[in-house]
Amino acid sequence: MTDNRKYYVKEDFGRGKLVEILEVYESYSGWYWFITEKENQSIETDEGTDFVYFGKVVGLETEWGEIWMGDIHQAMKKGTVWKVPESNWFSISHVITKKQEEIKSS
């Protein structure tokens, strides 16, 4: 049986449209990174190639913008940030879950 749910975060501006989530990362400090666009924009840095995605960051403040995956991966190596499995997204208060039928009717 396939899961027909999709997961979204709400825009904090305009009419607050729902934006589909592609990946979620969480930290011990309670921060969340919601990846909503992956265009694989790469930037050359001193440490090598870094990928820049776009999404919503919920930390001390909530904002939309570029998410540097090199920073996320460095924190993951230290054990302070981890990728949240999709099966756990429903439990995050910032995430809105909708079934396919609800999406088509809205």
- Note whether residue 65 is domain-resident: yes
* Total count of domains within the chain: 1
Spatial CA neighbour of 67 closest among 97, 102, 37, 45: 37
User: Average pLDDT of 54-76?
Assistant: 93
Domain that includes residue 83, residue range: 5-101
| Confidence band, pLDDT 50/70/90 cuts, at residue 34 | very high
Copy the structure tokens of residue 69: 């995956």
Amino acid in the structure at residue 55: G
Residue 66 domain-assigned (yes or no): yes
Is residue 66 scored above 80 in pLDDT? yes
pLDDT of residue 2: 46
Of 94, 91, 92, nearest to 62 by C-alpha is: 94
d(CA 2, CA 10): 25
Q: Is residue 106 part of a domain?
A: no
pLDDT at 28 over 70: yes
Q: How many CB atoms lie within 10 A of CB 24?
A: 23
pLDDT in tens, 72-92: 999 999 999 999 999 999 999
